[in-house]
Amino acid sequence: MRTNPNIVITGTPGVGKTSHSTLLASSTGLKHLSINQIVKERGCHEGWSDEYQSWIVDEDKLLDEIEDEVKHGGCIIDWHACDLFPKSWVDLVVVLRTDSTILYDRLLERGYKEEKLQENLDSEIMQVLLEEARESYDEEIVVELRSDTTEDIEGNVERMERWVESWKEEISGYNG
């Protein structure tokens, strides 16, 4: 049984997954698994898609790559998808949400082209990731958090820190 929880932080590109994961990792000692980085660095892909301007992810290879680490516990899994991670791996799913005008500015600043920008905005407005999370995991472990401002990041990270502490207390009580 894990003695540290695994948390998935998901949401549309630009909502703040990396910002939240980095802060949470440094305050809790949990390990930040940036799936974007792992896909690229460990070659968990079938090449580059010019159309989507991203790697075509080989999900089986990715899961094989991270399985031992994640099963051990204590990972913050940061990615813009969540339904591929087995339920048994995951203790909490945080779906970050951002106001569409704020997200538009963030993606524009990143140099996203109009089509990709619009696609991501539509996805945020249609709450695609929230639905994906709700369909893939038990509803009590899925939490939707707002990420419009830096104060939101601070508040969300504090909330997740408290959650980690109480998860650990519960587990240590359970283990006697």
Ligand X SMILES: Nc1ncnc2c1ncn2[C@@H]1O[C@H](COP(=O)(O)OP(=O)(O)OP(=O)(O)O)[C@@H](O)[C@H]1O
Question: Which of the ranges 41-49, 52-60, 63-71, 147-155 carries the binding residues for ligand X, by CB under 6 A?
Answer: 147-155
Q: Nearest approach, Cβ of 36 to ligand X (angstroms)?
A: 6
* 116 annotated as a binding-site residue: no
- Asked whether position 13 contacts ligand X by CB under 6 A, the answer is yes
* 18 annotated as a binding-site residue: yes
Q: What does the alpha-carbon distance between residue 6 and residue 120 come to, in Å, rounded to a whole number?
A: 26
Nearer to ligand X, 130 or 153 (CB): 153
Contact residue for ligand X among 147, 157, 160, 164 (CB under 6 A) = 147
- Asked whether position 58 contacts ligand X by CB under 6 A, the answer is no
Q: What does the alpha-carbon distance between residue 103 and residue 125 come to, in Å, rounded to a whole number?
A: 10
Per-residue exposure over 54-76, b if at least 16 CB sit within 10 Å of its own CB, e if not: bbebbeeebeebbeeebeebbbb
Identity of the residue numbered 108: L
Binding residues for ATP: 14, 16-19, 110
